[in-house]
Each structure stands twice: as C-alpha cells, then as structure tokens.
Amino acid sequence: TRNVVIIGAGIVGTNLADELVSRGWANVTVIEQGPLDMPGGSTSHAPGLVFQTNPSKTMTQFARYTVSKLLSLEKDGQNCFNQVGGLEIATTNARLEELKRKHGYASSWGVDARLISAEECLEMNPLLNKDMVLGGLHIPSDGLALAARAVQLLIARTREAGVRYLELTPVTSIEQAGGKVTGVRTPGGVIPADIIISCAGFWGVEVGAMVGLPIPLLPLAHQYVKTTAVPARAGCNTIPNGASLPMLRYQDQDLYYREHGDQVGIGYYGHKPMPVVAASLPAASEQTNEKYMPSRLDFTRGDFEPAWKLSQELLPALQQSEIADGFNGIFSFTPDGGPIVGQSPTVDGFYVAEAVWVTHSAGVARAVAELLTTGRSSIDLAECEVNRFEEVQLAPTYISETSQQNFVEVYDIIHPLEPRESPRNLRVTPFYSRQCELGAFFREFAVWEHPEWYEANAKLIKDLPPRWKSVERDAWSARYYSPVAAVEAWKTRTAVAMYDMSPSRRLEVSGPGAVDLLQRLSTGDVSKESGTITYTLLLDEHGGVRSDVHVARLEEDLFQVGANGPVDLVYLAREARKQRQQSPDQWVQVRDITSGTCCIGLWGPHARNLINTVTADDFTNRGLRYHRAKNARIAGIPVTAMRLSFVGEMGWELHTTADNGLRLWDVLWKAGQSYGVVAAGRAAFNALRIEKGYRSWGTDMTTEHDPYEAGLSFAVNVDKNGYVGQQALKGRSQDKTARRLRCLVVNDDRSVVLGKEPVFYDGRTVGYITSAAFGYTIGKPVAYAWLPSTVAEGDAVEIEYFGRKIAATVAAEPLYDPQGSRLCG
C-alpha cells in the first residue's frame, strides 16, 4: 500500500484523513507544525459561518456535504453544527434583486431557500433596524460550524482508524526522484511518501515552492470582533459560545454577524486589503493559544471604525455594548475566488487542497479522497483545479492584485458578464489594433482581450430586417450586452463574418507515439488519414466528459488539437510522459502553440466567394471538405485551413503564426468589403452556437456527465476499443439515461435568461439552465438545461428568473439547420 502524507491538521487536512481512511486507505500520516490541540492556522479561530448558496454549483455541493458531515460528527450527544439558519438581508433595491437571483441558485443546486419580507426578517432577528431592511433570503439549513471542535473529533476518530499524527513538526522540504515525490523532510528526518497532499492553508505558497509549484493564493488579514454582552440578548443563549438567531449577512456594507452567547461577533470585509507573507509569521510553538497564534494578527482598531458605526445602525441594540475583543485573522484569497485543488502538473504524487473555507472543507476533502482512490471526484473540479490558470496569472503581481480585488468584492453584486477593470491588456491577439479601430468591446477570455461585439457595426442596426431585430431586454440581461450582436449574427448567417478565434487553446501533439496517445485518450477514431479532423471527447475512467476537442491530423505524426484549457494541456502532457516511460520509442511531444499562433474563423454564405479572391488554392467543397484540413496560402501567407464551424455556417478556421496574423486580417478584411464582411464578437458567436446546439464544455457538460446524457453519443465511436472511459460506457446509451441536456425555447419570445437559473416541471425544481442566449435566427430566446429524461420534447417547463416564472417548451434540437446543409455545401 502507498504511504500518504497530509501536510496540515486544519479543517481540510483532518477531513481528508477521515475521508481516506473511511475509503479503506491505510498508512496515512498527518504532519502539523503547530500543537495538535490548537494548530494555529485559520481553522483555530474561524467563527464558522456556513452560508451554502453560491453561484457555483460545485461550491454549493461542497458546502452541502460539509453541513451533512458536521451534523453527523458527534460526541457526548453534541454534533459540530449549530443549524441556526442563514439570513441575508437587503438594504438596497439592487441587493433585493440580487437575493432573488441567489434564491434561483439555491433552487438550482438543491438548497431550500425562501425570499422573505422585511417584517419576516425582523421576526427572525429582532435586533434589526426596521427602517433599514427591505427584505431577505432565509436558508434554514445554513448554520455555524464548530470547526475547531470538528478538527479534534476528526483527529480522535482517524487516530483510532490508524492515522498517525505528528505535531510541532514542520515540513521543510519535499523529497523527489524521477518526477515523483518520495517523502517529506522534517527536522526529525525524512518520512517516506508516495502521495503528499498539502492542506497547508495560507502557507500553501511556501509548501508549493518546495516542489517549484506556484500556488496562486494570497494570505489576507480579515477583521473579526466580539462585542461585550448585549443587554437585549441577555440569557438568550445558555452556552457561552451558543447562538440561536440566524447568522446574518449585511452585504451592502461588507458585514456579517453571529452570536457568541450574549455577545455578538462581527466580521468585516470593508477595510483595505492587508496582505501577509506567511513565511514572515512567527513559527507555531507549544505556546500557541487562543489569543496567540500565527494566523492571528493584532487588531487594527482604526480599520474597524466604519464597521462599528454601521453595525450600531443596523443593530441598534449594539449601542449598549462595546468592542470587547478583536483581531485581524489571516486566510487565503485567490485570483478567481475558487479554491486550489489537484495534482502538480510536473511532480507526480504532489497534490494540494488549499484556499478552502470551512464552509467547503469536508466537500473538498471528499473530492480529493475520491480523486485519489477512484481517479475522479463525483463533483466537477474544473473551478478548483490547481492547473486552471494561465502562465501570466501565476505572476506574483497578478496574484496579489486580483486576490486583493476578490477580497474587496467578496460581497459585491457582480454581473456574470462583467469584465474585470484591472489588470487588463495582458494578452492581446495580433488583430488587437484592428479590433480597437472597430470599437471592440473587450472582455477577458483566458486573460486574452477578446471582443464581445464591435461598435463599428452599430451603423448597420438600421439595416436589420425586422425579424432579426433583437428584443428589448430587462435591466440585468441588458448589462454588458449590445444589440449590435444581432447585426453580427445576421451578417454571419447572410453574408460573411470574421471571428478572432486566437484565444481558443491549440495544442500540437507530435512524435511517433502521437496517434497512439490520442487514440487511447479519446472516444473517436483519430487514426484516419492525414488531413482529417475529428470531433471527439476525452473521458475519465468513469465515462465523465473531461473535455471535448477537435483533433486535426496534419501529418502522419503531427496533430493539432483544439482543446479547452490549461487542464487539457496538463492531462495530455502527463499521459505523454507516462507513455514515453513505458515505451521510449513511442515518445510524444505535447506543446501549447496558442500564443505563438493565431486564428480567424471566416464563416458565412459568402465566405467562399471572399476567399477565392485572395487564394489560388482550392477551397471548393471538393478541394476541402467538411472536417478536413490542409495547408494553403492566402495572399502568400501560409495558413492551415480547417473546414470547421462553431456557428453553423460554411467556412474555415484559418490558422497561421502570430507574425502573419495582422496581414491575414487585413487581406481578408479588404477582400471582404464587397461581400459585406463584418468583424463579429463572442456575443453573436455564443448565440449562433446555441441555436446550432453546439455544447460548450465546462458550461453545458463537465466530468459529472457522460456523452449520452450530454447528447454527444455521435462523438463516441462504437467500433473503437481500448480508450479511457470505454469500460464505464458499456451498457449505457442515450435512451437509458436518467437525465438529459435539453434545448428550451422561451414561449413569450422575449425573456432572456443568462444561465444557472432553476427549471421547474409540474411545479417542482427539476434542473437548471447551462447556456442561454437570444437566438437571432429563430427570433426566440433559447436555453439549454439539465433535466430528468422523463421531461420530453414538447413538454412545458418554467424557468425562475428574479423570482418570476417564465414559461418555456422543451424543443427538438438543433433549432437551426438540423440537416447541416449550411455546413456541407
């Protein structure tokens, strides 16, 4: 059996030990630099508020599991969760609307929640100022984690199951050989390990550095205080740390509250970000106690002053109290707010589970345990993956700025399409200057500046035929949207458009073992003759879709793979390494060529007329059929032309190296003028893709879904054997699935939803929306949704949007060009 070392005995490390031994793993050692009874990390002082609802399904599922686990963790008749409920209040109209959206997330992800009136809020918490509260969201199953107690119970339980604990033992380095971990070094010597999981909390950066792994988290101090006894609450809670009022969030002013007996605890995110370098903190020692621990800095009273005033306004009873005790406690923030979970891309056996709140701790621990014991987590981990970041995002300046911004915005109302203000312009494609000239509205995509639409096309709005005109949108869905997208969609369907596809990930896979590698990892037959493109899926061992890719065989041993993100690169590179170790003559090189190359998607019924004016190569249907690739020249520029389309119109992806990009754009642009060419952005692209029924990995399907559920059975080659996930698919088929990704059309023709809204059937929540857009070609809003298979085509469903129910119908898909005649002509 393998030796496992967990670094850190906080709420994450101890939960992980528990999840591993409960799955039958032995030889687990937990190493903690502090004393075990009070390790001194963030968990040791966490007030433990667990608000489960989150825009992210993954995070909400983690929280739900944490709640159930803490409820089950009992000693002396007392568990580790005080289920007092959670109350989020609105003091502004904008927040009131936000709470409606949040209610939608709760329903989508299976958390029981209720929008309540101001009066009901006051009944639930009589301390509230009745003149301030407009309404609230109540979640009865939320509550307070007794995190430090849970850690002690988990230590006791796992010790009994054979887990070894070493306290006051810092891990000082990681031993490795042949690209794998072999042990951890401590002052007492080396402890052998085949698998190491760093659960070091905000010390994660230091531990990651031991294997050269940058961990994009920033430790920040956050203020928490306890008041003196509040007379209005005298005698209400008998135990000293007890609470009976629901936890309270006052997000309009970055504040939250809980009771500690008759005292009130107040947490504040409104102060300036206070970054900390973990390595500069005093080492944990036997002297660690409740007041004196590495993760607890002195209280800076001046920073808390606004919070104290605001709290006394919201809860006037606090005017009868004072601040008894305060501290600046440290925990981790990340560039996108998600945790950092998974295996190092280069050192096998080194895993991390960091930047995790108490709220998500047991959920994350279970996911890691599943990953280790079965090869995959039942909850999709894309939003947590340690490898999800682009190279530029690992710069300390980027991590610092964006993580601080996340601290500042932790309670802000953020629109799903809202572009980041800073840092921007980090990655631009070769077409950037032209896009600026055309008035592009940019949004980030994998840190690239990517046009959402082009203001230059606004002049064409007046020419839009009436049936192409987009509908008037509500205030929320009108944000970061422009009716110009309708023009760009119309021109794509009726003339020709140029799309900047450069930010899409391009991997080059080459070498004598390339075909074997790709055959082994994908569901399709990619061994066809050179010049063929295959749309195929990468599955995990359980049949879950880990990615969807286009594999173009350019030469015998040279492939270009259109993939989804850095995680695909890490996966292919790791599998290539394994293959080389097993059979050295079957070596494969996997290279990310995205930055060094660029790509224009030239699509529309006039695309061929356009291209024929700038090339001598054969772009007829015979010269380059659908799903074929070839090298060609456009006005002398070498390109790889791929006959593909993500918008459902005839045309090509034209790939070239970055140096040639600008000229390629200019040549096509000039030639396109007589064909009515437009530059088109992501807003139009997304709408056209959805009408055509093309799935977007990460939004429409993830590792939680198999190809049949996702409507992708056509991408599974039934004659093929021996690929990853094939065994798991045995016996499954589209008609045996319990759930399906379905296409919905909104009945009123005008209500546009944005994604993640709950879907109701027969009055019950049965699923949730993935992608949604106004379908310009069909003149109706379209949405995709996960629904039980019992909900069939033609059935009526409802979508909850801002607390309102919108009627929709399950439709046969794709809505646009089901025969594919637009693509193949």
User: Which parts of this chain interact with ligand FAD (CB under 6 A)?
Assistant: 7-13, 31-34, 39-43, 46-50, 170-171, 199-201, 203, 207, 222, 224, 267, 284, 295, 329-331, 356-359
Q: Are strands 195-198 and 218-227 parallel, antiparallel or unpaired?
A: unpaired
**Which of residues 359 and 403 has its CB atom nearest to ligand FAD in the complex?**
359
Least Cβ distance, residue 238 to ligand FAD (angstroms): 22
**Which of residues 359 and 594 has its CB atom nearest to ligand FAD in the complex?**
359
**Which of residues 70 and 515 has its CB atom nearest to ligand FAD in the complex?**
70
**Which of residues 34 and 135 has its CB atom nearest to ligand FAD in the complex?**
34
As a whole number of angstroms, the distance between CA 150 and CA 73 comes to 7
**Which of residues 359 and 536 has its CB atom nearest to ligand FAD in the complex?**
359
As a whole number of angstroms, the distance between CA 561 and CA 616 comes to 27
Least Cβ distance, residue 213 to ligand FAD (angstroms): 14
User: Where do the DSSP E strands lie in 685-777?
Assistant: 739-746, 758-761, 764-775
Least Cβ distance, residue 112 to ligand FAD (angstroms): 20
In the set 500, 548, 592, 700, the catalytic residue is 548
As a whole number of angstroms, the distance between CA 710 and CA 734 comes to 9
Question: Tokens 């399950």 identify what position?
Answer: 810
Annotation says 222 is catalytic: yes
How many Å separate Cα 228 from the centre of its chain? 41
Give Cβ neighbours of residue 412 (< 8 Å, ≥ 6 apart). Answer: none
- Computed on alpha carbons and rounded to an integer, the radius of gyration of the chain in Å comes to 28
758 touches 107 (CB < 8 A): yes
Which whole-number Å values give the CA distances from 711 to 180, 358, 770, 775, in the listed order?
A: 39, 37, 14, 20
Q: How many residues comprise the chain? A: 825
As a whole number of angstroms, the distance between CA 556 and CA 505 comes to 22
Least Cβ distance, residue 203 to ligand FAD (angstroms): 3
Least Cβ distance, residue 48 to ligand FAD (angstroms): 5
Closest CA to 603 of 489, 695, 504, 450: 489
Least Cβ distance, residue 224 to ligand FAD (angstroms): 4
As a whole number of angstroms, the distance between CA 364 and CA 341 comes to 8
DSSP collapsed to 3 states, 181-217? EEEEEECCEEEECCEEEECCHHHHHHHHHCCCCCCCC
Closest CA to 143 of 117, 115, 111: 111
545 touches 537 (CB < 8 A): yes
Least Cβ distance, residue 30 to ligand FAD (angstroms): 9
Least Cβ distance, residue 698 to ligand FAD (angstroms): 25
As a whole number of angstroms, the distance between CA 167 and CA 152 comes to 13
As a whole number of angstroms, the distance between CA 514 and CA 51 comes to 47
**Which of residues 11 and 538 has its CB atom nearest to ligand FAD in the complex?**
11
Question: Tokens 């433990």 identify what position?
Answer: 48
As a whole number of angstroms, the distance between CA 193 and CA 166 comes to 14
Which whole-number Å values give the CA distances from 55 to 96, 415, 705, 758, in the listed order?
A: 16, 11, 19, 12
In the set 45, 103, 138, 222, the catalytic residue is 222
Give Cβ neighbours of residue 228 (< 8 Å, ≥ 6 apart). Answer: 263, 321, 322, 323, 324
**Which of residues 111 and 284 has its CB atom nearest to ligand FAD in the complex?**
284
**Which of residues 96 and 358 has its CB atom nearest to ligand FAD in the complex?**
358
**Which of residues 21 and 151 has its CB atom nearest to ligand FAD in the complex?**
151
In the set 256, 398, 535, 723, the catalytic residue is 256
Annotation says 548 is catalytic: yes
786 touches 589 (CB < 8 A): no
Least Cβ distance, residue 566 to ligand FAD (angstroms): 23
**Catalytic residue positions, numbered:** 222, 256, 548
